Amino acid sequence: MTRKCRHGVAQGILCCVLLCFSSPQQANAQAKQRLLGMSYPELHELPDWSGWWGLSDALIVELIRNPPPMKSDTFAKFRSAFSRDLDPDPGRYCRPSQFVGYSGGFTESVEFLFTPGRVTLTNEAGLIRRIYTDGRALPEHPDETNTGTSVGRWEGRTLVVETVGTNSKAKFPGRYAGAIPIGKNVRITERISLKDQNTLEFDVVTVAPEVLTAPDRRKRVYVRLPKQGATEVSFCVDFDRSIDPATGKQRFDMTPPADLAPPPH
């Protein structure tokens, strides 16, 4: 046995002894002490993800460049339906934000809020993801919700987020014409870390057995935006010149605004 190995064995024995002689409460307390960001003063130990973050590509562009491993030819059918505006869903823009692996960042900026035991990811289109970092486990039988249930843990400066219980009817790969329900037993794992002060990288692995033949793996690189506040981004509006609310189909409504300036004399 090498010296290094003997050292490792000794450490293991010590851990076992400590655990054996600790009460469950003490063990729990020791485990909680290892969690980061559990009090307001401790939040300063976490990396600086303040401000707003954006992507340079729309989701649809990313997906066309790097298609997810969808079953049979469903992605080709989706692309065709999307480009030809087939099978539109009139309500797709007026449903609450739903998380199926993409947190926004293109038309809507993303922000992170750190509070003790929790990271909240929001975007300007209304997505709110509550990521519990207080050491709790994922529920074994989660309710289906639009954002799923997320827990996170800090591995050094990387936040690892596990999400289950997403809405099985949420449209995959996004709220587009031709998208399909993502189905049940979805599990999404994200590893989020700063690459430099103004670059935040998401490694996302999506397991969705009803629509994917294999885990979908993708990397998204967010850039810190030079903006001070939020801009409202809404696709669910009283009057959308581009989408017919009755059919969901694209249109180009040329009804003039009531307050048009008159033509010049």
Partner 1 sequence: MKKTNKAESSAATRRAPILAIAAAWFAIASSAAAHHSYAMFDGTRTLSVTGTVAKLEWMNPHVFVWVHVPNPKAPGGYDLYAFENGSPHVLAQHGWTKVTLQSGEKIIVEYWPLKDGRHGGHFLRAIHADGRVSLGAGGPNAATSGSIAPGPQQGKQGPRQP
Distances (CA, A) of 224 to 110, 113, 191, 194, 195: 9, 15, 17, 10, 11
Of the residues 42, 162, 203, 240, which one makes contact with partner 1 according to CB under 8 A? 240
- Min dist CB 158 to partner 1, Å, is 22
User: Quick check: 85 binds partner 1 (CB under 8 A)?
Assistant: yes
**Overall size of the chain counted in residues:** 265
Using CB under 8 A as the binding rule, whether residue 254 contacts partner 1 is answered as: yes
- Note whether 36 and 42 are within 8 A (CB): yes
Token pair for 254: 């040329």
Q: Pick out residues in 154-193 that bind partner 1 (CB under 8 A).
A: 177
Compare residues 22 and 198 and give the one whose CB is closer to partner 1: 198
| Gap between the Cα atoms of 160 and 51, Å rounded | 20
- Is residue 232 near partner 1 by the rule CB under 8 A? yes
Residues 6+ apart with CB under 8 A from 97: 104, 123, 125, 126, 127, 128, 146, 147
- Residue 50: name the closest of 197, 192, 155 by CA: 197
Task: Give the total of residues touching partner 1 (CB under 8 A).
Answer: 46
Binding residues for partner 1 restricted to 21-60, rule: CB under 8 A: 54-60
260 belongs to the binding site for partner 1 (CB under 8 A):
yes
Which range touches partner 1 (CB under 8 A), out of 101-109, 133-141, 158-166, 209-217?
Answer: 101-109
**Which residues contribute to the site for partner 1 (CB under 8 A)?**
54-61, 82-85, 93, 106-109, 124, 177, 222-227, 231-235, 237, 240-243, 250-252, 254, 256-257, 259-261, 263-264
